[in-house]
Amino acid sequence: MNELPLTALLASVLATAAPLIIATLGETITEKAGVINLSLDGSLLLSAMIAFMVGFETGSFTLGFAAGAVTGAAIALLVGFFGIYLGQLQVAVGFALTLMCKDLAYFLGNPYSRLQGPQLISWKIPGLSEIPFFGPILFQQPLPVYMGLLLIPAVWWYFYRTSRGLELRAVGENPEACYTRGIDPRRKQILYIVIGGALVGLAGAAFSLGIKPGWGRPQGIEGLGWIALAIVIFGGWHPIRVALGAFLFAFLQVMGIVLQGIWTGIPAQVFQMAPFPLMILALVLINLLQYKGVQRWLEDKPGLALLVDKLRGAPPRALGKTFHPD
Amino acid sequence: MNREFPMGRLGRHLTDTFLILIIVTVFTSLLLLLVGASPTEAFTHLISGSFGSWSKVARVLNVWVPLTLCSVGLVYAFRSGLWNIGVEGQMVLGAIGSAGVLRMGVESGHPLLLLSLALLAGALLGAAWALFAGWLKIRGGVHEIFAGLGLNFVAIGLVLWLIFGPWKRPGIASMSGTEPFPRDLWFPTLEGWRVSPFALALVILLILATAWILNRSRFGLNLKAVGHNPRAVVLFGLSSQRYMLIAILISGALAGLAGGLQVSGVYHRLIPAISSGYGYLGLLVVMLAGFRLAPIPFIALFFAALNVGSIQLPMMMQLDSSLSGVIQGACVLSALLVFGFRHLRRRGAAD
């Protein structure tokens, strides 16, 4: 960090952001289809633990990541089944699962605490990694970083350029209309909550096998799931803005670590909680933009108005409401 | 609707409870077998660790007090339709308020007056923190789950800052918390009691008062209308925002009181983990209670026993004490499963 502070700083922002991007895009897919998976904080932790355990026992990254994805998908399936088919509050199921999965992770992961396990190393892309400045930031990263970066355009393309993506968004906006058009909203919602959950699981695996390697109590990613949920709102359910939110958060987190070195008297935990008030502030600001008065004030400020227009985002209209085919 | 249950609602609740306990027992046993531990041994340790002796029962009751206070407060918030996930932070703020008052009066000659002031300050600060979340929801448009959660983390940051900064122990600041208060500033108890009978009485009194307020008073009925029947709100000209704010305020005050009692009656100082997660656990208690008041004291007792009973698992069986949290979560999920199948059958019958 001493030689190339800026390069190292930006590279670590990217590495910190990557798993978060994977998780937030997973949740964006889920919520865009009209379901809330509130279990993220627990899912991330449990899939991180399972991925580490499998990676440790088999020595295989592929199996580790697969185990993480399956764990995340299974938890999401529970949320979907309870919420969509059993008519329970999606938020209630998600919250209960988030607490339970966290404790389950600590319980099952106890024997794997503080063990030296497999850890992904940076993967230099030949040629590109030699580019001065950008090379070390963009092309000398562990695999999940590339995964996260590629996922952003992929999700955007799926949402806005494919007919299945159109169906996905329609289910989240108006499930009744979809039903009359012959699409079963509940099957779509189950499909997308499982896909979203699998991505959350991959993000968990990316933490324990690469970005924050290892397992312990605490692992260090506690609370990130809640941040991820907030980032989805912050990003207005739009994949690109959600990813930008994840970058912003990662930047704040890395800055926190840097500042910690400067103000050594303040305990680390105070810096760790810094993103939360900022998150609230950001959510308030975004909401303020919806007010008529603010919009009128913006009218004669074209530059600002354009920016604000880009920031605004409305939730999928059927979000969290269970559809009943009657 | 209750034709199949001769005893009516009570019969249905008992059947549900029985089903839930069976599912949870089977699940937990399988989990224990999976990690190579004996289920009977683990269950024996859980029971003997929580009800095995009077001192253990007292410890369970010491957990029951804050857990019940948080859960009872949450019922108000849920009645108005709010998810007060910020109950955890409200408890922390209550602890800060009480500790602040007690610190100021270390030299004073009126310990009882000071203790009452401390608890009052705790309830007030808890209420203020809750009001902030409610205000963010109503004026700022931030969903109460995220407002509350964000404020929880801020509250924890605040406690750490106080313990390591302005309120640090003379000499070294540490995770062990602030300097303990002198004995005459401890919440009163009786000779030989490890749990204060006054705290228990206070909680029981508050449960009874809540039962009356929610079911008998005009306020309680209006609150229910606000949370569950938007049409009635328009019809009776109620301000749903005002009722939401009052509900979350009461919720925060009770959580703050719980925090104050933890500081003055249990730890006798401010520690970083002063809330012990009882706020979040309270949410599970209320969900398992089906958002009703009556089952809360019993479920809270069961959860408190699990918490205390699991403490000796690491020592006796090399198992992580988080088993209690897994069982508690499993209880709620099984309950949702049972409620869900009942829901399916009702829908099936309706068709």
Q: Does the CB of B332 have a partner CB in chain A at under 8 Å?
A: yes
Chain A positions in Cβ-Cβ contact with residue B347 (cut-off 8 Å): 87, 324
Q: How many CB pairs (< 8 A) connect A and B? A: 148
B43–A contact, CB cutoff 8 A = no
Q: Give the domains, in start order, of chain A with CATH numbers.
A: 5-311 (1.10.3470)
Does residue B2 register a pLDDT over 60?
no
Res A129 pLDDT > 50? yes
* SS3 state at A264: coil
pLDDT tens, residue by residue, B303-338: 999 999 999 899 889 999 999 999 999 999 999 999
Does residue B116 contact residue B98 with C-beta atoms inside 8 Å? no
Q: pLDDT higher for B190 or B152?
A: B152
Best of A45, A102, A276 to disrupt the B interface by mutation (most B CBs within 10 Å)? A276
Annotate chain B with three-state secondary structure: CCCCCCCCHHHHHHHHHHHHHHHHHHHHHHHHHHCCCCHHHHHHHHHHHHHCCHHHHHHHHHHHHHHHHHHHHHHHHHHCCCCCCCHHHHHHHHHHHHHHHHHHCCCCCCHHHHHHHHHHHHHHHHHHHHHHHHHHHHCCCCCHHHHHHHHHHHHHHHHHHHHHCCCCCCCCCCCCCCCCCCHHHCCCCCCCCCCCHHHHHHHHHHHHHHHHHHHHCHHHHHHHHHHHCHHHHHHHCCCHHHHHHHHHHHHHHHHHHHHHHHHHHHHCCCCCCCCCCHHHHHHHHHHHCCCCCCCHHHHHHHHHHHHHHHHHHHHHHCCCCCHHHHHHHHHHHHHHHHHHHHHHHHHHHHC
Are the C-beta atoms of A38 and A91 separated by less than 8 Å? yes
B169-177 own/partner pairs: CB under 8 Å, 24+ apart: B175/B271, B175/B272, B176/B271, B177/B267, B177/B269, B177/B270, B177/B271, B177/B272
The whole-angstrom separation of Cα B170 and Cα B180 is: 12
Contacts of A224 (CB under 8 A, 6+ apart): A20, A23, A41, A44
Please, which residues 135-154 of chain B have a Cβ atom closer than 8 Å to chain A? Answer: 136, 140-143, 145-147, 149-151, 153-154
Residue with the two structure tokens 């009800």: B51
Residue B119, min C-alpha distance to chain A (Å): 26
CA distance B71 to chain A (A): 15
Per CB-CB distance under 8 Å, the chain B contacts of A324 are 347
Min Cα separation A3/chain B (Å):
33
- A103·B35 Cβ contact <8 A: no
* Residues 148-207, chain B, touching A (beta carbon < 8 A): 149-151, 153-154, 156-157, 160-161, 164-165
pLDDT in the model for residue A227 = 87
Is pLDDT at A2 greater than 50 in this prediction? no
A311 contacts on B by Cβ (under 8 Å): none
- Amino acid letter for position B8: G
Nearest to B265 by CA among B60, B145, B98: B98
For residue B13, give how far its alpha carbon lies from the nearest alpha carbon of chain A (Å): 17
| Chain A neighbors of B146, CB-CB under 8 A | 226, 229-230, 233, 279-280, 283
Widest distance between CA atoms in chain B: 72
B157 neighbourhood in chain A, CB within 8 Å = 269-270, 272-274
Query: Which of A81-85, A284-288, B41-45, B247-251 has the lowest average pLDDT?
Result: A284-288
Residue of A99, A276, A284 lying closest to B280 (CB–CB):
A99
Q: Name the residue in chain B with its Cα closest to that of A264.
A: B164
CA distance A211 to A258: 17
Give the pLDDT confidence score for residue B1 in this predicted structure: 43
Determine the pLDDT at residue B6.
Answer: 54
Could you tell me if B324 lies within 8 Å of chain A, comparing CB atoms? yes
Contact A322, A90 (CB under 8 A): yes
| DSSP structural state of residue A315 | P
**Beta carbons of A246 and A92 less than 8 angstroms apart:** no
Residues of A in contact with B174 (CB under 8 A): none
Q: What mean pLDDT is predicted for residues A150-177?
A: 94
Closest-approach residue (CA) in chain A for B33: A108
Looking at per-residue confidence, does A38 or A264 come out higher? Answer: A38
Complex ipTM value: 0.90
The tens digit of pLDDT for each residue in B221-237 reads 888 888 877 777 777 77
Phi, psi of A237 (to 5 degrees): 60, 25
- Positive or negative, the CA dihedral B286, B290, B293, B299 is negative
Provide the whole-model pTM.
0.91
Separation of alpha carbons A229 and A41, rounded Å? 9
Q: Quote the minimal CA–CA distance from B132 to chain A in Å.
A: 11
Q: Across the interface, do B142 and A280 touch by the CB < 8 Å criterion?
A: yes
Nearest to B149 among A226, A233, A290 (CB): A226
Residues of B in contact with A91 (CB under 8 A): 83, 145
Residue A196: is its pLDDT beyond 90?
yes
pLDDT band at A3 (very low <50, low <70, confident <90, very high): very low
A281 vs B310: CA distance, rounded Å: 39
Point out which residues pair with A124 in neighbouring strands.
A140
B46 near A CB under 8 A: no
Tell me the β-bridge partners of A141.
A123
Predicted confidence at residue B247, as pLDDT, reads 95
Q: Is B246 on the interface with A (CB under 8 A)?
A: no
% of chain A residues with pLDDT over 70:
92
To the nearest whole percent, how much of chain A has pLDDT over 90? 50
User: Looking at A162-176, A260-274, A307-321, B67-81, which range is the least confident one?
Assistant: A260-274
B127 in Cβ contact with B253 (< 8 Å)? yes
Q: Within a 10 A sphere around the Cβ of A263, how many other Cβ atoms?
A: 9
pLDDT score for A300: 74
Cα distances from B248 to residues A8, A23, A276, B98, B154, in angstroms, run: 46, 31, 21, 20, 18
Q: What is the pLDDT of residue B74?
A: 97
Q: CB-based contacts of B76: which residues, under 8 Å, 6+ apart?
A: B210, B214, B223, B247, B248, B250, B251, B254
CB contact under 8 A, B151 and A270: no
Among the partner residues A102, A107, A324, nearest to B323 by beta-carbon distance: A107
Mean of the pLDDT values across residues B185-203? 85
What ranges do the domains of chain B cover? 66-300
Residue of A215, A269, A294 to mutate, testing the B interface (most B Cβ within 10 Å of its Cβ): A269
